[in-house]
Structure 1
Amino acid sequence: MRYVQPRPSSIVAALYTLRDLNVDLAILHGPSGCSFKHARLLEEDGIRVLTTSLGDEEFIFGGQNILEDVLRYAEKEFSPRRIAVVGTCVSMIIGEDLDAAIEASGITTPAIGVSIHAGFRENIAGVIAALEPAAKAGWISEEELERQRGVLASANQTERDRGAACKTYIAPSRGDLKHVAAAKLAELLRSGKKGMAIMNAKKETAYMFADHLCAVYECAPEANVTFVANLEARGLPKVRADAAMILAELRDRGIDPELIGALDEYGGNGPRIAERIAEVKPEFILLVGVPHAVSPAALAGITVFSVTNGPRQVLPLKEQGHAHVMVEVDLHPKTLGVHNIVESEFGAVLRSM
């Protein structure tokens, strides 16, 4: 399928993957504006991002000397534990050898080169491009690399089948009015009917999506609700650490959820969640994070309240039969660099009920 709507960048995907590997300094080898927004956002989350600021002259004659200078500067000024050099469209087109520049720079900090550009239709190419040299350097095991290949393939397929990549173009939407949906959910919570509150979130977005579970509990502590969260201890270092912190806080706040899947398994977690739904037989479900991972067949006959952070996900979820679909606007920037659960808009509205 050829999309006519913007899709995630493989360069940005590589940067986020490096962050999850606990790389604390990345150098974008390209123009200063490449991936500007995400580079700035990532600096809120513990990884410093520098650029070689390539210009017209380097587009013609190459920029390896500049990259070597920036590598030496980075080591001297910031004393990082790990460095990654990330390619861009410019550096890949002109044929820059990132590994050769790292070696020639003379730095002693552990460093890898990530040869990537934005010309891939699927952003998971950037993830693999970062993971492969990381495995070669011994930063992750070969087993974890293969596991990552599997979860990435599952996530990609889910997006193609039922997510924002299921159509050539999807108009963005803010979803349903939160106060209307919250009133109906509060009524069900207090009715004695059997329900489920399920979080199937992608990585750090769980810091806000977990708040929806907290809001359900605080709104109706005695409600007949089964809590489920994808907080099993698997994944890259930051992913495991985030899961542990979120789970500990949920338990501190009175919720001990059933654990189904890990924070990077959101794409392929649907069948396991569907099995649990079939066992519980709820009359209503609050499904947050990546709701479209659960097939429509598993939700048939159930009143579903779903919360996503993707405005282009609203229409597909509505078409899949979700009664109420809400969007947490600007969720991602609010969950970078945090280590505690962040209050959500829908959670705040539900508490007000």
Structure 2
Amino acid sequence: MHYIQPRPSSIVAALYTARDLGVDVAVLHGPSGCSFKHARLLEEDGMRVLTTSLADNEFIFGGQEPLERVLRHAEATFSPRRMAVVGTCVAMIIGEDMQSAVRDSGIATPTIAVDIHAGYRENIDGVIAALEPAAAAGWISADELERQRHLLGKANEVERLRGAACKDYIAPSRGDLKHVAAGKLLELASSGARGVAIMNAKKETAYMFADELLALHDACPEANVTYIANLEQRGLPKVREDASRILAGMRERGVNPELLGALDEYGALGDALGERLRELSPDFVLLVGVPHAIPPEYTAGIEVFSVTNGPRQVEPLREIGHAHVVVEVDLHPKTLGVRAIVESEFGAVLRSMA
């Protein structure tokens, strides 16, 4: 499909993957403004992001010397455990051999070179571009590389079928008023109706989506609700650490969810979560994170409350029958760099109305 709306960048996806692999310093080999916003956000998450700041003369004569210089500076200044050089459109167009620059720089820090640019329609290409050299360097196993390929394909499939990539253009929306959706959810939970609350969240976004399950429990502690979360221990280093912290935080606050899936498996869990819903046969369900992963045949006849962080996801969720759809605005920046569960807007509304 040709999209006429902005889509995630493969360069940014490579940067986030480097972070998940335990990279301390990433060097963007390109102009200083490339991926500026996300580079700054990732620094909030503890990964240093430097740039070779290529200018017009390097566009012509090449930028290997600046890259070698920045790599030596990064090693001397930050003493990183791992580094990654991430390509940009400029680096790829002029044919930079980044692995050669890593070798010739003389650095001792384990470092991978990620050959990537923004000319891919799907951002998963950036993830794979980072994972392949990581596997070659022994940072992850060959089995984990294949597992990640499978999961990325499933996540892409969900976005094409029921997500923000299901049409060439989807108008952004803030969804329903949070107090209206919260009021109806509390009414059902307080009435004795049988409910299920599922978190199927993508990686660090779970630090906020978990709060919505906690808020429902705080507001209606005696409600007949089964809690389920994708917090099993699988995936890249940071993904496993995040799952462990979030699960501990939920248990400390009185919610011990059933575990179904891991934080990087959100796109592949639709049928498993759907079958669990059929077993529980609830009157209502709260779906937070990536609610569109669950095929609509599993939620037919159930009153569905969905919470997403994608304004372009509202329309597709309504089209598959979700009665109440709310958006957590600016969720992603609020969950970068955190190490404990963060209060959500919808969670705050639920608590205020209890």
Q: TM-score range by the shorter chain?
A: over 0.9
Task: Please tell me the residue identity of whatever aligns with 1:332.
Answer: H
Map residues 225-236 of structure 1 onto 2, 5 A cutoff. Answer: 225-236=225-236
Task: Please tell me the residue identity of whatever aligns with 2:182.
Answer: A
Q: Deviations over 1:285-305 (max 9, x none)?
A: 000000000011100000000
Determine if the alignment matches structure 1 residue 44 to structure 2 residue 76. Answer: no
Q: Deviations over 1:161-197 (max 9, x none)?
A: 0000000000000000000010100011100010000
Give the equivalent residue in structure 1 for 2:292.
Answer: 292
Give the equivalent residue in structure 2 for 1:140.
Answer: 140
3-state SS of paired residue (1:165): coil
Residues in 2 aligned to 1:19 and 1:75: alpha-carbon distance in whole angstroms: 17
1:46 Cα shift? 1.1
Q: Deviations over 1:72-118 (max 9, x none)?
A: 11111111110100000000000000000000000001101000000
Residues in 2 aligned to 1:11 and 1:83: alpha-carbon distance in whole angstroms: 16
Residues in 1 aligned to 2:347 and 2:323: alpha-carbon distance in whole angstroms: 18
Residues in 2 aligned to 1:247 and 1:26: alpha-carbon distance in whole angstroms: 29
Map residues 49-198 of structure 1 onto 2, 5 A cutoff. Answer: 49-198=49-198
Give the equivalent residue in structure 2 for 1:322.
Answer: 322
Runs ≥4 in structure 1, deviation > 3 angstroms?
A: none
Task: Please tell me the residue identity of whatever aligns with 1:8.
Answer: P
Which runs of 5 or more structure 1 residues have no equivalent in the other structure?
none
3-state SS of paired residue (1:231): coil
Give the equivalent residue in structure 2 for 1:224.
Answer: 224
Residues in 2 aligned to 1:338 and 1:188: alpha-carbon distance in whole angstroms: 32
Task: Please tell me the residue identity of whatever aligns with 1:113.
Answer: A
Residues in 1 aligned to 2:72 and 2:251: alpha-carbon distance in whole angstroms: 45
Percent identical pairs in the alignment equals 75
Residues in 1 aligned to 2:112 and 2:3: alpha-carbon distance in whole angstroms: 32
Q: Deviations over 1:29-57 (max 9, x none)?
A: 00000000000000000100000000000
Q: Deviations over 1:263-295 (max 9, x none)?
A: 000011110000100000000000000000001
Equivalences, count? 353
Give the equivalent residue in structure 1 for 2:253.
Answer: 253
1:2 Cα shift? 0.2
Give the equivalent residue in structure 1 for 2:263.
Answer: 263
3-state SS of paired residue (2:305): strand
1:226 Cα shift? 0.4
Task: Please tell me the residue identity of whatever aligns with 1:225.
Answer: V
Residues in 2 aligned to 1:186 and 1:344: alpha-carbon distance in whole angstroms: 16
Q: Deviations over 1:235-258 (max 9, x none)?
A: 000000000000011111111101
3-state SS of paired residue (2:292): helix
Residues in 2 aligned to 1:130 and 1:18: alpha-carbon distance in whole angstroms: 7
1:228 Cα shift? 0.3
Task: Please tell me the residue identity of whatever aligns with 1:141.
Answer: S
3-state SS of paired residue (2:206): helix
Q: TM-score scaled by structure 1?
A: 1.00
Which runs of 5 or more structure 2 residues have no equivalent in the other structure?
none
Give the equivalent residue in structure 2 for 1:338.
Answer: 338
Q: TM-score scaled by structure 2?
A: 0.99
Residues in 2 aligned to 1:213 and 1:293: alpha-carbon distance in whole angstroms: 18
3-state SS of paired residue (2:95): coil
1:218 Cα shift? 0.3
Residues in 1 aligned to 2:108 and 2:300: alpha-carbon distance in whole angstroms: 58
Give the equivalent residue in structure 1 for 2:207.
Answer: 207
Give the equivalent residue in structure 1 for 2:282.
Answer: 282
Residues in 2 aligned to 1:231 and 1:79: alpha-carbon distance in whole angstroms: 32
Residues in 2 aligned to 1:299 and 1:263: alpha-carbon distance in whole angstroms: 22
